[in-house]
Chains A and B, each alone.
Chain A
């Protein structure tokens, strides 16, 4: 399939990219790794006049240590995130999610920031980012601003990134020593998750002292299972305790109904997968 014709620019700094975006106005579209945008263009679901490629902005690539947080550049490929020791040591649930994200080809082309900015509720990165209280650094013509994860995901394919802005990096508070697991339920390996659960827990002497649980594809945005988190804290990391806490995972969610399952089935899956994710994260 052949996309409609478009102009293409590949700036080398964020400032140039912002200027190009401002100039293009409504007709501009940012391309990061292109794993979602290219199919859209090729199927002619969208036909922007100008595509602004962030691929040559080196400053947006890489992971750095920033004291009590790690900072992942928006253009860091999934493959680089996956192999990064800072991420593994301090935000292990991200590593676990990226491990299962799509396939090796996609992981080498797709980017951390691109996937989050696309905000597909079935995307694998939203739930772990939300669970870890990530902060999103967004650059605009007037400078940068930081948006908390709770405010970043607005709706289906909609984030706090305004027109004319670019997501530049994601700050994730360090959680060294936490256990983590991403429990993903699919029918075939290359599929978007039907439901997935990201769990990060801190276990002290067999007791869960802190817990974070994010849900993938259980609504129009990634969701945080706060009731589960609260129910877990102070409880032993046993099957029985975790099962009881996980039972509320589907509450308050509004998952889709589609070829892979209806909403009620997804709510049920959320409880099972939450239990499994938490137990695995707790080392059980």
Chain B
């Protein structure tokens, strides 16, 4: 066997723009989504949901529905009783956090419009839906707590028994923590001899709007009760089912088959899952439930929804001296699985890339009678990044400084890494200068500034604005010890297994359950390099707790930096297990072997043996060294030592039509430092999608409730998810400061685009019209808001709480009787 010399870089898989191996089956639909699953004797469920935001249930008459064709059962919360379990909050952010009990199907009172009050089980989905219309529910409407700021004043209670809407107040203070000075002192000083900028920003409520609606199938026949679910978190789901329904964990199998997107929206344990679990077990038959798009928008958890009161102190030369953050965060009707914790993640990110000597963060979470909120792409970090990046532009404007110069004056210099921030995190690596220089050049910053000036000077009806966002974020959730210190209910490790099959192919099991990210491709590339086997010979398995028994799933840009590291450690263990066997077969000393490109070579000789040959020999087990077990398979569980801190400079230019408020994006350049890149194509996809999602918050999306608590933007007619037709071609580039905390030197990229882009766009909008006296435009920056900001200085007004009708109102059926 010949020894290969140093392989040219082109043969390495890591770094190659491999087309995603999962795409053919995903794009052509030749795969298993939860809703495709058909089981013998399977029944179908439809939900009856409350049309009221807050009401007492006075009676539920199910008799007509029960008599409908092929209806097997109609069950209410009272019927299911305690057997239905409870929806959990895994992150009580303070010891005295107030949280209402969250039954999957309450029997006495509903707390948001869309809450489930009855479930109909029939032989077909159509019959279940028909019968759901026949369930007659009487409600006694109660006053609803809807507006976040009013709810914080406890005028109307979302849950009267709690006595308050205020769930928890979470505070970090750098003076108390010893990570910095006293922010009040800094602000007082700045009021006398420096500059204080005070702003209130609204983070509107968003809807994750994943492509595949949520779906669940439960098969109670068999020793393990099996749940298929369109979830991001099959492992956490199994744990929560065991913890709340009394079924031993070993009797539960959860499968997340191919899952069509999540964006955090499927990082949840849902009432629907718990209800179907209870119903299937009660009936002893498999049951399926797939939500409609309307149900998804109305009752799947929402994201964001904050008021941010921000106070920034600086010296007159633009040196930051203090930053005070006071948040109100809308939990909606219940404290979701990590609902209270999402805004708290922002505590570590409001200081961003800047050296801020004094910092205070306080977040009051508030219960309202609206859809519950939880993680949505970025989860806490987009909100924080928006707040600080908007403030940096405001401060620059006040100082008359170029906003990039102000940032540079205050950011951590590249030679100052590792750097411990005022929020107590240690940033391992980064180079903000390099990313910014590259972004400015690609963007043509100076020329666009010159054009902006020309348009201002000539009073052009089309004004140009330039927005900046020099973001960083913390991802790769998360070191378990840190999570423990924050009272989070689980660890942050990840698991991987590598199995060498006899014929030379490799099975990889990952605990990071993907829902569209491309794990199968990236993991194959990593293993191909590590074991020296062909990319095509690696199969990546995931999402089924019978195959992948350990894992903490996919969210928080963690899969590669945590799960990928577990994979590397497992693959390295395979090599170490193969080494003595190879040495034995090559009749060489273990110390004389070197492993390279899939082959064990005896140093200084031309003798060698491929790892796949070792695998076959291990399978046969005819000739192994004494005491060596006949297996190369290896597992590893990796607990990260630190977060991952991607950063980047995003520059956005928009044209504002001052006659209409219309907006046209002119140019968007981002230079992200995400460390080393495993697959540039997947990264480009993550960046493009992330950017559009963040731009959508800035310009288009908002979950609006009317004053009765009904979701008005309840379909894609009014909840404006952009399409390719609404975007421009982005300039995407990278600088590289490899992460020092994982072997591959990678950083998370799944959320970076979303975190960075929102403030870049809003800063551009405000920059275009600042000379009209505008200092803010509330998101989404609709043309109406922009127009009014220019002409009436009223860009912060809420939009009208109504949607246009596009269907005949006379045809509209009475939807209060159980229709969804």
B-binding residues in A (CB < 8 A)? 1-2, 4-5, 36, 39-40, 43-47, 103, 120, 122, 156-157, 185, 187-192, 194, 217, 256-262, 265, 268-269, 272-273
Task: Write the nearest CB–CB distance from A56 to chain B, whole angstroms.
Answer: 25
Who on chain A is nearest to B819 by CB? A44
Given the complex of chains A and B, what is the CA–CA distance between A65 and B704 in angstroms? 49
A120 to B804, CA, bound (A): 10
Instruction: Check if A156 sits within 8 Å of B809, measured CB to CB.
Output: yes
A261 and B787 CA atoms in complex are apart in Å by: 10
How distant is the Cα of A188 from the Cα of B808 in the complex, in angstroms?
Answer: 23
State whether A265 and B130 are in contact (beta carbons under 8 Å apart), knowing that A188-B720, A259-B799 are contacts in the complex: no
Q: A40–B294 contact, CB under 8 A? A: no
The verdict on B806 contacting chain A, using a C-beta distance below 8 Å, is yes
A1-B720 contact given A185-B662, A192-B806, A261-B784, CB 8 Å threshold:
no
Instruction: Tell me if B812 counts as interface (CB < 8 A to partner A).
Output: yes
B804 touches A192 (CB 8 A): yes
A185 to B126, CA, bound (A): 39
Q: Give Cα A217 to B806, complex, Å.
A: 11
Within 8 A of A (CB), among B715-734: 715, 717-718, 720, 722-723, 725-726
Chain A residue with Cβ nearest B805: A156
CA distance A29 to B293 in the complex (A): 25
Question: From B213, which residue of chain A is reached at the shortest CB distance?
Answer: A1
**Do A122 and B783 have beta carbons less than 8 Å apart?**
no
Residue numbers in B under 8 Å from A265 (CB-CB): 784, 787-788
Q: Which of A4, A157, A191 sits near B130, CB closer than 8 Å? A: A4
Residues of chain A with a CB closer than 8 A to B125's CB = 2
Rounded to whole Å, the gap between the CB of A5 and the closest CB of chain B is 7
By a CB distance below 8 angstroms, the chain B residues around A1 are 129, 292-294
Give 19 A-B pairs besides A157-B807, A259-B803, A261-B784 with Cβ atoms closer than 8 angstroms. A5-B130, A36-B807, A40-B807, A40-B808, A45-B807, A46-B808, A46-B813, A185-B660, A187-B699, A190-B725, A192-B804, A217-B804, A257-B800, A258-B804, A259-B702, A265-B787, A268-B787, A272-B659, A273-B660
Q: Which residue of B lies closest to A190 (CB)?
A: B723
Complex A-B: 11 CB contacts under 8 Å: A1-B129, A1-B292, A4-B133, A36-B806, A46-B811, A156-B805, A187-B783, A259-B713, A260-B782, A261-B784, A272-B660
Docked-complex contact B810 and A259, CB < 8 angstroms? no
Chain B residues, CB < 8 A from A262: 784, 800
B712 interface residue per 8 A CB criterion: yes
Query: Which B residues touch A189, using CB under 8 A?
Result: 723, 725-726
- Bound: A196/B391 CA distance, A: 37
Nearest chain-B residue to A47 (Cβ)? B813
Q: CB-nearest residue of chain B relative to A217?
A: B804
> Which of chain B's residues have a CB closer than 8 A to the CB of A40?
807-808, 811
Cross-chain contact A259 with B802 (CB below 8 angstroms): yes
Which residues from chain A contact B488 at a C-beta distance below 8 Å? none
Q: Smallest CB-CB separation from A265: which chain B residue? A: B784
Q: Which 3 A-B pairs have the closest CB atoms?
A: A189-B725, A46-B811, A261-B784
Residues in chain B near residue A256, CB distance under 8 A: 804
Judge whether B660 and A39 touch: CB under 8 Å: no
Once the chains are docked, how many angstroms separate the CA of A257 from the CA of B811? 22
| Contact for B782 among A43, A122, A261, CB less than 8 A | A261
How far apart are the CA atoms of A44 and B804 in the complex, in Å? 18
Question: For B713, what are the chain A residues with a Cβ–Cβ distance below 8 Å?
Answer: 259
Tell me the interface secondary structure of chain A in the complex: loop
Asked whether, in the complex, the Cβ of B726 is within 8 Å of the Cβ of A259, the reply is no
Residues on B with beta carbons closer than 8 Å to the beta carbon of A5: 126, 130
Contact B660 A122 (CB under 8 A): no
Q: CA of A190 to CA of B725 in the docked complex: distance in angstroms?
A: 8
Specify which of A44, A156, A185, A273 lies most central, judged by the most chain B CB atoms within 10 Å of its CB.
A44
Interface residues of B in 121-169 (CB under 8 A from A): 125-126, 129-130, 133
Known: A5-B130, A157-B810, A265-B787. Contact between A259 and B712, CB under 8 A? yes
Known contacts A188-B726, A261-B783: does B700 contact A157 (CB below 8 Å)?
Answer: no
Query: Could you say which of A39, A185, A187, A192 contacts B700, with CB atoms under 8 Å apart?
Result: A187
Q: How many angstroms between the C-alpha atoms of A234 and B543 in the bound complex?
A: 73
A192 in contact with B717 (CB, 8 Å): yes
Q: Is the CB of A258 within 8 A of B809?
A: no
Closest-CB distance, A244 to chain B (whole angstroms): 15
Let me know if B809 and A157 touch, CB within 8 A: yes
Contact B133 A44, beta carbon cutoff 8 Å: yes
Contact (Cβ within 8 A) B783 A259 = no
A233 CA to B720 CA in the complex, in Å?
40
Check A43–B294 contact: CB distance below 8 A: yes
Q: Indicate with 1 or 0, residue by residue over B292-303, a CB within 8 angstroms of chain A CB atoms.
A: 111000000000
Q: Mark B275-300, 1 if CB is under 8 A from A, else 0.
A: 00000000000000000111000000
A192 CA / B716 CA spacing, docked (Å): 11
Distance in angstroms from B737 CB to nearest chain A CB is 37
Does A188 contact B723, Cβ atoms closer than 8 Å? yes
Q: Contacts of A269 on B, CB cut-off 8 Å? A: 660
Asked if A258 meets B802 with Cβ closer than 8 Å, knowing A188-B700, A192-B717, the reply is yes
Interface centre among B713, B799, B807, by most A CB within 10 Å? B807
B795 to chain A, nearest CB (A): 12
- A41 CB to nearest B CB, Å: 10
Query: B522: shortest Cβ distance to chain A, in Å?
Result: 32
Known: A122-B804, A188-B723. A44 touches B659 (CB 8 A): no
**Closest chain B residue to A1, Cβ basis:** B292
The smallest C-beta distance from A86 to any residue of chain B, in angstroms, reads: 29
**Interchain CB contact under 8 A, A45 and B813:** yes
Which residues on the B side are within 8 Å of A272 (C-beta)? 659-660
Contacts of B720 in A (CB 8 A): 187-188, 191
CB neighbours (8 Å) of B819 from chain A are 44
CA A122 to CA B700, docked complex, whole Å: 19
Min CB gap A140→B, angstroms: 21
Chain B minimum-CB-distance residue to A259? B799
- Tell me the smallest distance from the CB of B729 to a CB of chain A, in Å: 16
Chain B stretch 775-820: residues in CB contact (< 8 A) with chain A:
782-784, 787-788, 799-813, 819
Q: CB-CB < 8 A to A120: which residues of B?
A: 806
- Residues of A contacting B805 in the complex (Cβ-Cβ under 8 angstroms): 156
A259 to B723, CA, bound (A): 19
> Among the interface residues A1, A43, A45, A46, which one has the most CB atoms of the partner chain B within 10 A?
A43
Q: Which residues of A contact B704 (CB under 8 A)?
A: 259
On chain B, the residues within 8 Å of A39 by CB distance are 807
Rounded to whole angstroms, the CA-CA distance of A164 and B125 in the bound complex is 34
A132 to chain B minimum Cβ distance, whole angstroms, is: 24
For B719, give the chain A residue with the smallest CB separation.
A259
Among B783, B801, B807, B812, point to the contact of A185 (Cβ < 8 A).
B783
CA distance A265 to B800 in the complex (A): 12
Q: Name B802's closest neighbour in chain A (CB-CB).
A: A258
Within 8 Å CB of B803, what residues of A? 258-259
Taking a contact as CB atoms under 8 Å apart, the answer to whether A258 and B800 are in contact is: yes
Which residues of chain A are near B725, meaning CB under 8 Å?
103, 188-190
Q: How far is the CB of A124 from chain B (nearest CB, A)?
A: 12
Bound CA–CA A4/B784 (angstroms): 39
B813 touches A44 (CB 8 A): yes
Minimum distance in angstroms from A72 CB to a CB of chain B:
23
User: Quick check: A259 and B700 within 8 Å, CB to CB?
Assistant: no
Give the residue name and chain of the A residue nearest to B128 (CB): A2
Contacts of A47 in B (CB 8 A): 813
CA distance A248 to B737 in the complex (A): 60
Residues of the A chain whose Cβ atoms lie less than 8 Å from the Cβ of B810:
157
Q: How far is the CA of A46 from the CA of B807 in the complex (A)?
A: 10
A272 and chain B: residue at smallest CB distance: B659
A259 engages B813 (CB within 8 Å): no
B130 contacts across to A, CB distance below 8 A: 4-5
CB of B727, distance to nearest CB on chain A (Å): 10
Known: A2-B129, A122-B806. A45 touches B800 (CB 8 A): no
